[in-house]
A and B are shown apart, each in its own frame.
Chain A
Amino acid sequence: MSDAYTDGAAADGSTTDRWFNDQTLKRAGAAIAGAFTLAVGVLLYYIVDFADPNLFVRIIPRFLEAFVLVLGIVAGGSVLSIPLGIFVGLGRVSKTRFTNAISTGYVEFFRGTPLLFQLIVIYYGIPALWIQNFGDFPISNWAIPAAIIGLMLNHGAYVGEAIRGGIGAVPEGQMEAARSLGMSYVQAMREVILPQAWRNALAAIGNDQVILVKDTSLLTVIAVPELISEFRQVNSATFDPWTPIILVAILYLCITIPLGKFVRYLEARSDWGGGDRR
């Protein structure tokens, strides 16, 4: 093989002898990407060919309704899981043994059991306990509150761990500087540590919130009329899986892609005069 690259790495000639060098990796990558594109292209061709445009248009309204519901549940889950996560993160770094132990136990439970299980506990378990002890369960449409509570508790644990890591990455000198100015622990946390911890944890929290969006698909099991539930209904009535699948894919991506962009915007906004220097 003629030595095409002049990277300097191959100056001694040894690397050019190996068949798996930079050049082969580059070519293999392009080949795999090409094969993937071809496969997706063929699949898409058959899918579009399969899909029924009339059905597609007809099911848009019911899917939009489900989409709005998913948006509402995501908003509720996010808005609640983030403050909960901040408290959990604070608990995880607490030197008070009781607080620390409880928040650790909380995180272990909600990260250590499946969300689907947690949803079932809340949706089926809580009303049963209520009815046995207090009579009629007062909430008629329990599925949606149960969904929001489940997502909040589950993702509160993940956000909590992200915040804990974010606090841990703030140098100790920051707390010392804040305290030495006479700030209380609470003031130092609020004004100095948490803003930096938030910045540190932002990517992880953003990741988690994208997962929260996708986790709404599990809500089909507790009878929330979300996107997968709609799919199942349309599919069982028409025996056409692909037309609703396309719509479901588009609608999930309509949430997750902007959400990812929003997180990157938040990250860029808090670069504090020199992200490149950090």
Chain B
Amino acid sequence: MSAHSLLEFDNIDKYYGDTHVLKEVSLEVDEQDVCVVIGPSGSGKSTLLRCANRLEEIQAGEIRLDGTALTHPEADINMLRQRIGMVFQSFNLFPHKTAIENVTLAPQKVKGIDDEIAYEEGMSILEDVGMSGHADAYPNQLSGGQQQRIAIARALAMDPRVMLFDEVTSALDPELVGEVLEVMRALAEEGMTMMVVTHEMGFAREVGDKIVLMADGKVVETGEPKAFFENPQTDRAQQFLSRML
């Protein structure tokens, strides 16, 4: 598949003080693809994802969205972030806003969309994630799985080009993981470009178009799911998979 690559990491380096956490990482996420990043904890996969919308700054290299260098010092990061949806491990829903208000806040305030239109679009997105029945509930009143689905809806409401998922099921009770993965699977089928950091190997294999294994701040192996899981090329990948599966 040689589609247009939407999100490109070009030789990036990141340090926390003296600690070199991302080492010359290069990676391309193609349009409409689901790129799944896996790896042991501390391997830098979440950091890589957070660099992609500049919640973390990189020290060298370049990250491009649709050809625009979003790591450029003069890049309009607020504008670029509107095109990059992000979902967090800890949901980070706004507790003082209801589900629908969480979803409509950014479209109203950032894009200046009319309240009524934002509401209608918000409701339709909540419908897509199966949460329209809880539109007026506050996050406190909902389960983790429900909160995470609203968090996905909130990101989708900005109509992003690419969605970043940062271990979005790791904080959930096991029985709630499925409903969130289901929403993500549906999103992938609709053709959303996604970059997913996860420990869910079943999801990676089933939904992923490209698997990226990271270890010690480096990309160790990249491949299509079938090839990667059945016939890993590197020792590091074989070792990781033998522990995970």
Contact = CB atoms under 8 A, between A and B. Distances in A.
Interface of A: 171, 173-174, 176-184, 187, 191-192, 195-196, 199, 270, 272-274, 277-278
Contacts of B98: 273
Given A177-B154, A182-B106, A196-B94, 13 more contacts: A177-B94, A179-B81, A181-B81, A181-B106, A182-B78, A182-B82, A183-B109, A191-B109, A192-B94, A195-B96, A196-B96, A199-B96, A273-B137
B108 to A, nearest CB: 9
Contacts of A272: 95-96, 138-140
A270 to B, nearest CB: 7
A195 B102 CA distance: 14
Contact of A177 (B92, B110, B138): B92
Given A180-B84, A182-B158, A272-B138, A173 B106 contact: no
B43 interface: no
Contact of B105 (A179, A191, A196, A199): A191
Q: Which 4 A-B pairs have the closest CB atoms?
A: A273-B138, A182-B82, A177-B92, A274-B140
Interface residues of B, number: 30
Contacts of A178: 94, 106
Contacts of B106: 178, 181-183
Contacts of B96: 195-196, 199, 270, 272
Contacts of B227: none
Contacts of B110: 181-183, 187
Contacts of B154: 177, 181
Interface string B136-179: 01111100000000010011001000000000000000000000
Contacts of B85: 180
A174 B92 contact: yes
